[in-house]
A and B are shown apart, each in its own frame.
Chain A
Amino acid sequence: MSSQTINKVMIGFYVFLFFAYLFGPLLVMSVTAFNTPSYPAAYPLEGFTLDWFVKLWNHKAMMQGLVNSIIIGIGVICVSVPVGLAASIVMNQIYHRARSLYYLVTVSPVLTPGVIIGISTVIFWRDFSEMTGTRGVFYKGIVLAIFGQSSFIAAYCLLIISARLQRFDRAQEEAALDLGASYPQVFWHILLPFLKPALISAAVIAFLSSFENYNTTTFAILADKTLVTVLAGEVRQGTTPALSALAVIIIVISLLGAIAYEIMKRHEERRSAKLAEQAKRAERGELAQGPALAAPA
């Protein structure tokens, strides 16, 4: 056996181990969701049941938490995508050294421990809303959770959007301006359509990060509950296969999402290849016509 084959086998084995580590616990948990014993066990398999899914469906607090999580997720999208967009446009337009400072400050929430973001959000809005007499408006679990989560999720959006903004061709803007468009028109009709894919992925990432956040939310949510904080309470109290059932649902949705994403990506690749081909053909056609038109003159 050559050393290359040995290498390949070893790498294959390592990749297998890595993904076993990654997926193993989730697989075992999924099995417990369908097994009958009330203490979640993967082995021995005592019988197949869907009871744990029914139990989950009837769990009032968890359903209420789910509703709150969705409201908060939508709120976070509404705050952090526009903020991320504005922040990336501002970053794109300032000079080098000021830009590094700006970058450092805006990305710092990503590196701050979530616990600290949660605590600081609660303390600030408690005092601020008291000072301005707006306690009834702002000092609420759902509002604070949106604010706390947005503080770092906006930075994710900034990173995603500015990655695409950097590839924006300024010539397009110049052309539109030369043709008589105003600046706001350039923004609405040229820049926003160009950024659309980045805005969509920013919104998806924002929702997902909000939905699964624990560290910040557990402080910022005050007396309310989200799905994740309800889950945390359940895990602290003990273990039930109903939690595994919830995990199974999330895993299935994730897998479907991943497959949809893969299909969309392939579809998009095929379409852009087709468009490029069409453009090339059109260009060739124009070039062929060009001299013929010029000849009579």
Chain B
Amino acid sequence: MSRLLVYLIPLAVIAAFVVMARYERRLAHDPTHRGFFERNGTVLGLVFIGLVAFWMLMLVVLPYLYMVQESFHPKLVAADRGGPKDILTLDQYRSFFIQPTDGEVNTTHLWAFFFTLAISALVTFLNFAICYPLAYYMAQAGSAQKVRLLMLALIVPYWVNEILRAFSLRLLLASKGLINQMLMGVGLTDAPIDFLGNNVGLYVGLSYAYLLVMVFPLYNAIESLDKNQIEAARDLGASWFRIHKDVVIPYAKPGIASGCTMVFMLSAGSLAAPQFLGGPRTLWFTSIVYDFFFQAFNWPRGAAYAFILLAACIALVLLMLRLFKVSLGEAIK
């Protein structure tokens, strides 16, 4: 039953989309307009539509819906699937709040959930603070040649994959790592500081992983700002701080929103940094999901947790966009 629904939803969306396109075409009153198949030829038109449909249905929408659907089922062995035990249930979602084993409040997972979201927000803010000056410098002060070189220098480290970047930070921050060696050599501390155990490694790792994702949207937004506006503000006696607060930041708001959205979503969903840089007692939410899949083999509960994470992230992003008065369309441009 629920599987039927899974197929009906995309059909409804496609129908809505076709109606919308038809309606707008009639509104546009364009006599030179040709239909999609007329303009591309029937065969090519079908190939285009087919490819897009395959992507959207088979790779995006249906998998998402199947995941949501899975989260409303109990954990079953393959033989029981589709049988009488295969009922719809809210148990997986209930287990997020109340532990199924002893009926206590599930503080571990609730705490991990809030920890993940709070740290992601912190990392987002941190990266904005680190990247804004560089983006501003590249967009407004640098020469074209210099900017291209800086861009290249920014991109090259990101060709090294996430795991190795986490590994490199671990080498630096480990108790036998270079930073501890230096601190002890200078005599600032006698015993090594446990950067990984107290999660400093995790924060640094998350920030490090998504620097680039913040720099580019900021740069793109600030780059189109007319230099004369800054000059004018300066001539009118605005302080350095006021120029940024009242001229540059309001102008670059869509870019800021887009960078912050990306960094927040990526770090809330990141797996490598918490796995390799987090302390032994740190529970990141995606790690919990990972364990449900690979250790407990409880896919429905993992799916439910994944959906909770996705819903919370989307809700938070929309809330922030609303607060800063940026439309979603602007933010994902």
A residues touching B (Cβ–Cβ < 8 Å)? 11, 14-15, 18-19, 21-26, 28-29, 32, 39-43, 82-83, 86-87, 89-90, 93-98, 100-109, 111-117, 119-121, 123-125, 127-128, 147-148, 150-151, 154, 182-184, 187, 208, 211-212, 214-215, 218-219, 228, 231-232, 235-236, 239, 243-244, 246-247, 250-251, 253-255, 257-258, 261-262, 265
Q: Which of B39, B141, B208, B271 contacts A93 (CB 8 A)?
A: B39
B60 x A111 contact (CB < 8 A): no
Chain A residues, CB < 8 A from B329: 100, 103-104
Let me know if B121 is at the binding interface, CB within 8 A. Answer: no
Q: Which residues on the B side are within 8 Å of A219 (C-beta)?
A: 293
Contact B269 A187 (CB under 8 A): no
Find chain A residues with CB under 8 A from B1 CB. Answer: none
Complex interface: chain A residues within 8 A of B172 (CB): 24-25, 28
- B155 near A113 with CB under 8 A, answer no
Interchain Cβ contacts under 8 Å between A and B, 9 examples: A41-B176, A108-B60, A109-B60, A113-B306, A115-B290, A125-B63, A184-B44, A228-B162, A235-B167
Contact between chains at A98 and B21 (CB < 8 Å): yes
B282 at interface, CB cutoff 8 A:
no
Q: Is B15 an interface residue (CB 8 A)?
A: no
When distances are taken between beta carbons in the complex, the residues of chain A under 8 Å from B199 are none
Contact B261 A111 (CB under 8 A): yes
Cα–Cα distance between A103 and B225 once the two chains are bound (Å): 25
B51 & A121 in contact (Cβ 8 Å cutoff) = no
A231 to B151 Cα, complex, angstroms: 28
Total A-B residue contacts, Cβ distance less than 8 Å: 258
Known: A14-B134, A28-B178, A231-B163. A262 touches B171 (CB 8 A): no
Within 8 A of A (CB), among B131-162: 133-134, 137, 141, 148, 152-157, 159-162
Check A89 against B40 for contact (C-beta < 8 Å): yes
- Which of the four size classes fits the interface of chain B? 35 or more
Task: Confirm or deny: B93 has a beta carbon within 8 angstroms of a beta carbon on chain A.
Answer: no
Contacts of B48 in A (CB 8 A): 86, 89-90
Interface of A is mostly: helix
Q: Specify which of B52, B152, B161, B181 is in contact with A250 (CB 8 Å cutoff).
A: B161
Pick from B24, B60, B66, B332: contact of A123, CB under 8 Å: B66
B302 at the A interface (CB under 8 A) = yes
A215/B289 in contact, CB under 8 A? no
Are A22 and B157 neighbours in the complex by a CB distance under 8 Å? yes
Docked-complex contact B167 and A243, CB < 8 angstroms? yes
Query: In whole angstroms, what is the CA distance A149 to B270 when docked?
Result: 16
In the complex the two chains form, is A187's CB within 8 Å of B40's CB?
yes
Report A-chain residues with C-beta under 8 Å of the C-beta of B310. Answer: 112-113, 116
B54 and A83 form a contact (CB under 8 A): yes
Option from A11, A18, A247, A250 in Cβ contact (under 8 Å) with B130: A18
Tell me whether B160 and A113 are in contact (CB under 8 A): no
Q: A25-B171, A90-B52, A97-B24 are in contact. Are A107 and B134 (CB under 8 A)?
A: no
- State in angstroms the CA–CA spacing of A32 and B54 once bound together: 46
Q: Taking the complex as formed, is B168 at the interface, i.e. its CB lies under 8 A from any CB of chain A?
A: yes
Chain B residues 17 to 71 lying within 8 A of chain A, measured CB to CB, are 17, 20-21, 24-25, 27-28, 36, 38-41, 43-44, 47-49, 51-52, 54-56, 58-60, 62-64, 66-67, 70
What 16 additional pairs, Cβ within 8 angstroms, besides A22-B153, A120-B67? A14-B134, A15-B137, A21-B211, A22-B208, A26-B157, A90-B36, A98-B24, A101-B20, A104-B328, A113-B269, A113-B309, A113-B310, A127-B3, A183-B38, A183-B44, A231-B163
Q: Knowing A28-B178, A86-B52, A116-B67, say if A183 contacts B39 (CB, 8 Å).
A: yes
Q: Is B272 close to A, CB under 8 A? A: yes
